[in-house]
Structure 1
Amino acid sequence: MELLWRKYESEYVIIHSYTDRGNQELPGRGYKDQTELFPHEFIRGNLSLKLKSLKVKEAGWYQCFVKSAEGNYEARIELKIEATAPVRIFVTVPGGSGLGLSCKSTGWFPEPTVRWVTQDGQTLAMEPVTTITQDKQQQLYTVESHITVLGGKDVGEIRCIVQNSLTGTEQHSAIELGAKEKAANRKAEQEAALLDKDNVELHKWKETLTEELAIRRARSYWVTITLDPSHQHPELIMFKHGQGVQRRPSFLGPAPCIAVGSSGFASQRAYWEVEVGDGKDWELGVLSEDTRDQVIGGEVEERPKEGVWALGRAAGQYHPPEADTRLQTQEKAVIIGVYLEGEEGKLTFYNVVQMALIVAIPVPDSEKLYPFLSPGPAGGDGRDPLRLCPPSNCDFPQQLVQKRCNKDV
């Protein structure tokens, strides 16, 4: 018996072959380690082909051709491939008389469709501006859609839905635009002379909305941070994939235990989040390249005074002092958002649970800076690690207080 699996690419190309003369089995050219047969199943008539690590280019028509003493047989089948991806929605800088919303998703196949709807499924009257591009190498599609919501009525929940055109599979993200938020937004866009300065509640309302818009915009620059095992204190335990650290329970010394990110950022924007949980002592922020080199192998005996820009907690107080003042009026910060605006020379920390600003500090605008984490003493049981949160499409982090950002260590 001879068995050929072939794929039609302007002509039939062999991707796997088998002959019972010596039980010879060979993958086709360019398909090494990507295909597999099941010879032990042949006696049952199972001549299946397994394709591994499917990519978009594997879609198409396949032929199974069998030649035996009884005759020749063939069958064809079409393989269709779909790919879907998470959808993120965030608020852009308001312009004109409306509120800007942006929706983005990368990694779709075939080309998807996108639509904006209300909670009850009604299509929004506002016309979105949508662009769909395809990566030439991976052939996957990226969707970006923008819409401006006018502030004339209470829209409620708005959803951005991206749908696979092959199977109808959908992914979506939603944002709630209540009357309170939209009213505050309209007030913020009016001339300053029209603002009632005696209305303290309205001032607080506007400040809250401004901070929420700022953190939503910062989250659009989310990057994945991975800690570098070669740039960490030897008394730190690093979680798998470099997504968190904690002190060894046996180490109670005062020396700073620092773990540094594998990549630095210079004159660019980057955002990441860190779960500090119930930790009583910790520090996080960015280091200069020179300071990063000093912490290799725990060479420093005390925290470097130069080249460090950070937010921290020690002895029940936060530093810098303005951060402590601000956090006294907020819900406990269990997840910290870090936003580096390299070209602006600014590092901003946010209380993600409350969607509120903690503090903004100046940093060098042309120097490469590296993220770092420094957990406090483990207290003998290691309950207070620092974890890097994975990118999230959650629009209301306040609802994640109980779930936390990452329990896979």
Structure 2
Amino acid sequence: MLLICIASLLICSAAASDFSVFSSNASVSERLGSSAVLPCGLSPSLNAELFKVRWHKDDYNSPVLLYDDLKIQENAGDPLYRGRVSLIGDLQKGNLSLKLENLTLADGGEYVCLVKSLTWYESVKVNLTIKELGSSPLFLMAEDGNQVNVTCRSNGWSPKPTLTWRDKGGRELTTSHIYYKTDSKGLVSVSSWLLLSPSESEWISCSVGLSDQEMKEGRVLPRKEIWREAFIATLVLSLFIVIILTALLLLVRKGLFPPRPSHKNTKEEETLPLTGPSEERLMMWRKLRKNKVKLTVDPETCKKPLTMKQDGASVYRGQLSKSDLFQSSSFPPALSKEGFSSGQTYWEVTVDQKENSKKSWCVGVTQKPPTEETLTALCYEEHCGIYPSTDPHTQIPAEGHVTTLGLILDFKHKTLSFINVDKESHLQTFRMNNMENSKYFALISPGMKDSYPVKFS
């Protein structure tokens, strides 16, 4: 038996004395947090089970993965990669491709696939780029003589993005003022500025992205700040009001304009000042919170890559397949079993269970089946903040980190309100049209950027 094994080894080594190592794709690009496959194979397609396979990155002596003696050497690899790497090809057919999961920014770089037999060795290099889409462009404007200085800024990109200015007609505007900065996490921020003549109709655009399919664009009118004119108008109006009030006071004192008599029987509520929309919503919230409804997830609406937890109220992003990485929606939705068509309903959603652990979420209402036309929601993305689903470029200011949202669906006033339960503050109220004869369902989405859940609470 020993002689047979030795003969088999010698035959395999002789056959392997002349092979080459190749990669079907020398450059691989994947999103942060997803998985990547680095291709590596033998030509001809020899059985590589008896070979030594070493995948390494920066340090040869600290491999990403080492295959030797017919098995993967678990304790020989770099600790940063343990539990995240595997050989996914058919070794008998010479497929030595490496799969790397839960990608981090540090995983980017050049990898080497080195294959050794008893008498021969060869290697091939594969470059891995980690992609992360940054925030939508933000604009700042300042007067500079008779011109306007327009600054465009975007944060949180990987790798280094491009920034392009264009006019209303789509023509590119050239500038030499583009600046890049890398933060402690390795994410890149980009900013640029232009000097332009003021305009009330000729908008310009600033596009930031990694490719034509991964661009984020913002538009702005390069007009001068109007705060001076607004201040003068406010000052004039204030003086006019003061003059009128002074004249009325003099008339009352002279008896030419008697004061309105008071009524002792007036109810106390009628003496209170009128409250603004935010305070009205908070008063309604404090009243409805006692009757908070408990919602559950409709499992038929919880599609891959979403997974529903056993409590029936939580969903999270499960393991991503290759097809999931290319889906168009950043917020795959799950809907509640319960529907609403009248009255006032209040429920709560836990969007984050730890301090700043969630990188994205979306919460609101929609109809079945969900469409963009029937969706009304607040969404959150790291580096972008909270914004309406109808306008991703408008950031909603929040008082500190939000972990629990309260939602009030009001069919009487045709509104949907969002409350920051932690701070007891009003975030946003949407006016909803065409609610008659319509049935709405609560919507939650954990987003695609992490695997932490969101929950009907």
TM-score normalised by L of structure 1 = 0.47
Decide which structure has the larger Cα Rg and report it: 2
TM-score normalised by L of structure 2 = 0.43
